[in-house]
Structure 1
Amino acid sequence: MSFPFDALRRAPDVEGPGLVAFDAADRLLLDESRSVREECGPNELTVIGDAYGALALGAAWEGARGIRVHQDALTGEQAIEANAERADLRGAIAVHPELDADVVQGARVVLLRLPRSLDALRDVAGLIAAHAAPDVVVFAGGRIKHMSIAMNAVLGEFFTRVDVTHARQKSRVLVASGPHDGRDPQADAAHVDGVDVRAFAGTFGGARLDAGTRLLLAQLPERLPGGSVGDPWLDLACGNGVIGAWLARRHPEAHVWSCDQSAVAALSARATMTASGVADRVHVVRADALEGRVDASASLITLNPPFHAGAAVTGRIASHLFADAARVLRPGGELWCVWNSPLGYRGELERLVGPTRQVARDPRFTVTVSTRR
């Protein structure tokens, strides 16, 4: 019996029309790699970028054990574990929150969902080449519409041979072997508005201050509520950490709590705080929204909400973040938010948080402040 892909769920990640837990590229990756995977022993298979477990659990269903799994999004990681539990395969996988040498050490087969960023692919390929077994074979697949010929060249920087499979159901797999010249990921660096920004590949905004965040920071008043050890300013979906670092540099006595569900974003934000000399006052965590924060406890939250779930554009992510911000804000507390103007979040902010006023708008972005009822 084949693996029951239709039983896979995205939860606790957002679910809804057009948001799927697997696709044809997952099936093609498993089919193309099957004969090579059958030669692997325990702990010799690694899966990277497996959104909700289709690859790792599909391989476990076929008998693989000791599968190391890395998924950047925390909700995706939690979904993989929940799907494994439902399929009675939890003992076959080991989730690794960090993308580091331990994930690929000695691996003979790596299944990889191709990231959309070439720099992110370069970091993954270099890591595999540096730490996997000398005979490792990498099966890197995705939907053709999200692939480019440049991906072949990036893999060619670290592998002697790169082959391309036949397309199937608008999906394709690149097969790389013969690793060489491996390297560990390195963060990009920049100095922006008094902040030393660091960003590993795949972090929103990279090592820069994106235009929306720049507009938000320009509107924040000099005097802000909270900012103490017991009532730190909260930077939700912090990305590279630039908002938290900027606040801490501007207010030398203030304390900030920054969070993002992306492993690479949290890593980048910590590096930004260290480089900017504010790591002692800015605590960075990997978290789903504001999990772990007490209800009605915060005076100020800043947010530049993401609107991509994988390749799909959805407002459900922002709604989830708005609702959790409302939970954590105390009555009278403020949510300062910047968003792409066409997304029209003001009504949602009014409904979920409280009275909302526009404080700035340019051709692309809108900045609002919502006061908790």
Structure 2
Amino acid sequence: MEAVAASLEELCSSLSREPDFDAPELQAFDTADLLILTTAAARIRSSAPGSVAIIGDRHGALTLGAAGVLGASGLRTYQDPVLAERALARNADSLGLSDSYANTTLGPELLSGAETVILQLPRGLEALEEIAWKIARFADPGVRIFAGGRVKHMTLAQNEILSRYFGDVSAGLGWRKSRVIQAGDPRPTLASSEPPFPKWGNDRELSFGVAAFGATFGGTKLDHGSRLLLRTLDADWAGDHTHPAKVGGTQTGHAARAAAAPEHVLDLGCGSGVLAVSAALALPTATVVASDQSDAAVRSTALTAEAAGVASRLVIHRADGAEAVSDAWADLVLLNPPFHTGATVHAGVGHRLIRDCARILRPGGELRMVFNSHLGYRPLLEHVIGPVRQLARDATFTVLAATRR
């Protein structure tokens, strides 16, 4: 094991996070990647081409380790974040391994005939449940799963979810603060049942249902930060969806109004699509774009928009930040930024998105943003965008509006 781990660690140490968010304290791999691959090494080495599927590879360690050290070919890989796909592609190109894998969607394209699945455990239990159901439904009946993570992020609930869909589930010994769960023997009754995702939810403050696939931030619920942000918009748009009240301007509080209603709106990091769909309903003449780097999020937003009757008026992109729209395009950007990258809390992710907003806002356009109050984004907003006013604040969250100078 140690010799394989050393070879894998040498390869993984050459990997870059680019173009994903990077910082000195962040790495392109961790010991969970090494442990998953070393635990599954014998099975991967003896696998037929095209029989290994990889889920949750963050920057290429699993895919390129399986190909470059363990000799696997015809790998099929699913990565929810678009930046993970791009980092894998860059790293594969630098190692001459671009032909060793193909990115696919999370379904039969990925899993049909798969005899081995290697998985970085997702952060959320619902994401794990969707993955487990799809493996049980589409993979080879003899499939073996090697699912790993850092011990501090693992719970017994993960074993319980896997046990719903597989008759054989066992946890291995810890190694360098990581652990691997193995699973096999798909339960045929559950695997042939109705898919558990997407799920649907309703909220008393929304006039439409909310769809969510497993990895979608917030699931079917309206998270507290988005709820607070949405209330500031309701104060601007309430009561007249044909001629909506204006947003922006230089006044303070919810009475603030601009000269005209926004015509170009971007929901940046759209999640399940609540803010984008709310904007499309309230501003029937506006062009509304929803963007998220998560595959699960854009699929959820599409279903939420369809159920709300605004699918034809909503443009949805899986994209890095605001790259889907041009410079000085937006009258209004709505942002509830993530405060983590993977399992690591890091305010730099929000900083990156704020700087992107500065590029795409027109002069006089507005960024309306909600965030955990302790993160203190206001100085950056004032520096890179312009004058800032506070619209709402509670014990946890703050909503600020920044006008592009």
Shorter chain as denominator, the TM-score bin is over 0.9
Structure 1 or 2: more helix by fraction: 2
Matches within 5 A, 1:191-202: 191-192=202-203, 193-202=206-215
Deviation, 1:227, is 4.5
CA contact (8 A) 1:199 1:268 kept: yes
1:157 equivalenced with 2:168 (yes/no) = no
1:2 equivalenced with 2:7 (yes/no) = yes
Q: Which amino acid aligns with 1:321?
A: L
Matches within 5 A, 1:1-373: 2-3=7-8, 4-61=11-68, 62-96=70-104, 98-180=105-187, 181-182=190-191, 184-192=195-203, 193-220=206-233, 221-222=236-237, 223-224=246-247, 225=260, 227-228=262-263, 232-373=264-405
In structure 1, what is the Cα distance between the partners aligned to 2:360 and 2:53? 38
For residues 268-309 of structure 1, give each alpha carbon's deviation from its aligned partner in whole angstroms, at most 9, with x where no partner exists: 111110111110111111110111311112111111111110
CA contact (8 A) 1:135 1:178 kept: yes
Q: Secondary structure at the match of 1:280?
A: helix
In structure 2, what is the Cα distance between the partners aligned to 1:17 and 1:60? 27
Deviation, 1:75, is 0.8
In structure 1, what is the Cα distance between the partners aligned to 2:92 and 2:184? 29
Deviation, 1:226, is 5.4
In structure 2, what is the Cα distance between the partners aligned to 1:226 and 1:55? 48
CA contact (8 A) 1:195 1:249 kept: no
For residues 295-329 of structure 1, give each alpha carbon's deviation from its aligned partner in whole angstroms, at most 9, with x where no partner exists: 11211111111111011111111111111111011
In structure 2, what is the Cα distance between the partners aligned to 1:150 and 1:366? 33
Higher mean Cα deviation, 180-189 or 198-207? 180-189
In structure 2, what is the Cα distance between the partners aligned to 1:48 and 1:114? 9
Is there any run of 5+ residues in structure 2 with no aligned partner, and where? 1-5, 238-245, 248-259
Percent identity, aligned pairs only, is 44
Give the aligned CA root-mean-square deviation in angstroms: 1.4
In structure 2, what is the Cα distance between the partners aligned to 1:301 and 1:118? 30
In structure 2, what is the Cα distance between the partners aligned to 1:322 and 1:200? 27
In structure 2, what is the Cα distance between the partners aligned to 1:163 and 1:367? 45
Higher mean Cα deviation, 130-139 or 14-23? 14-23
TM-score (norm 1): 0.96
Deviation, 1:191, is 2.3
CA contact (8 A) 1:67 1:94 kept: yes
In structure 1, what is the Cα distance between the partners aligned to 2:24 and 2:325? 30
Is there any run of 5+ residues in structure 1 with no aligned partner, and where? none
